[in-house]
Amino acid sequence: MEWLSKFSVLEVIFLLGGIAVGLSVSLLLRNSSYLSYGAAFGFITSFLLSAAYFFIFYNFVRCPVCRCKLNRFKNGKRVPSKQAHTQLTSGYGCRHCGWRPDVLASRGAEGEP
């Protein structure tokens, strides 16, 4: 799951980086149109990374046993994002087959070691 959180960092980097590059080029060349190009590049790239993050988060995080999507309910609807992140970090089991991660399954129901 660590690789998935890097998408949100990349969104911010591209957004601020596009604006910063556009601003520096526009000041260097004394042409204000480069600022708008840099901002547009930053916004578009950030939006595309955000869309890719949600697509990957809801479609490619799967149970290794039954291959069902972990971030969806049994009826196919998406689990709310905050709830899904909480369930993934706490080791919540698969809704379809009951599989739990080995490291977290060895803990008790209260999360005690």
DSSP helix/strand/coil, 78: strand
Six-digit token pair at 15?
A: 């957004």
For residue 89, give its domain range: 63-113
Mean of all residue pLDDT scores within the chain: 77
- Do 70 and 42 belong to one domain? no
- Do 110 and 99 belong to one domain? yes
- Do 56 and 67 belong to one domain? no
Q: How many domains does the chain have?
A: 2
- Do 4 and 45 belong to one domain? yes
Number of H helices, E strands in the chain: 4, 0
- Do 15 and 50 belong to one domain? yes
- Do 55 and 67 belong to one domain? no
Q: Say if residue 105's pLDDT is above 70.
A: no
Instruction: Tell me how far apart the terminal alpha carbons of the chain are, to the nearest angstrom.
Output: 22
- Do 2 and 55 belong to one domain? yes
Count CA atoms closer than 13 A to 45's CA, side-chain side: 18
- Do 49 and 77 belong to one domain? no
Please state whether the predicted TM-score (pTM) of the whole model is above 0.85.
Answer: no
- pLDDT digit string (tens) for 38-87? 777 778 888 888 888 888 888 888 888 888 888 888 888 888 888 888 88
- Do 56 and 68 belong to one domain? no
Query: Residues near 35 by Cβ (< 8 Å), separated by ≥ 6?
Result: 19, 22, 23, 25, 26
- Do 40 and 72 belong to one domain? no
- Do 42 and 75 belong to one domain? no
pLDDT band at 101 (very low <50, low <70, confident <90, very high): confident
